[in-house]
Amino acid sequence: PPEAVGTGLFELDQQLGGGLPLGQMSEIVGPRSSGRTSLLMSILAAATSRGEIVALVDTFDLFDPESAAAAGVVLSRVLWVRGDACAPVLPSLAHRQTGADRVITRALKATNLILQSGGFGVVALDLADAPPQALRRVPMTTWLRFQRVLEGQEAIGVILGSAPMSRSAGGVTVSLHPR
């Protein structure tokens, strides 16, 4: 099995066989209020406490640095790529896809550049609030390209979403549900 990196949550790491696999794209999926952002903050906190530099591509500019710092994330070790808060992310606006498509495309390009640059312990892409219709238009080759770039790196890739979309053959999907 591939080497794994701890998530910062002992019980989850035990279930995953040590954590998230190195050199692989993994997913954290679930609806709003399921804990997906809290799990990501735990992963980022664990990585930054180990002295690693992490990258977060925040597609819709929803990251809260104060909450992240309270969760233990060392903010000076985070590359935060902010997206566009004006893009439609509410279901009532889902018919206006052009703004969401543009923002998602920019986030995917930023993620690809970060993965290619190397040097990050965790590269996270937050697509949790993206309209499902827009995500279905992302070509499968995008996820395959991410995986190919990540292979062999001492890093993990994490994608947040409301539903599975991109896990590599060696990655894991952590599916969360609200209590």
Q: Which residues pair with 157 in a beta bridge?
A: 25, 123
In terms of pTM, does the model score above 0.85?
Answer: yes
Per-residue model confidence as pLDDT tens for the chain (179 residues): 569 999 999 999 999 999 999 999 999 999 999 999 999 999 999 999 999 999 999 999 999 999 999 999 999 999 999 998 765 555 555 554 468 899 999 999 999 999 999 999 999 999 999 998 899 899 989 999 999 999 989 999 999 999 988 766 778 999 999 88
Contact by Cβ (8 Å): 81, 114: yes
Tokens of 40: 């990501």
Angle between helices 140-150 and 97-117 (to 10 degrees): 20
Residue count of the chain, please give it. 179
Q: Where are the beta strands (DSSP E) in 101-161?
A: 122-126, 156-161
Centre a 10 Å sphere on the Cβ of residue 82 and count the other Cβ atoms it contains.
Answer: 15
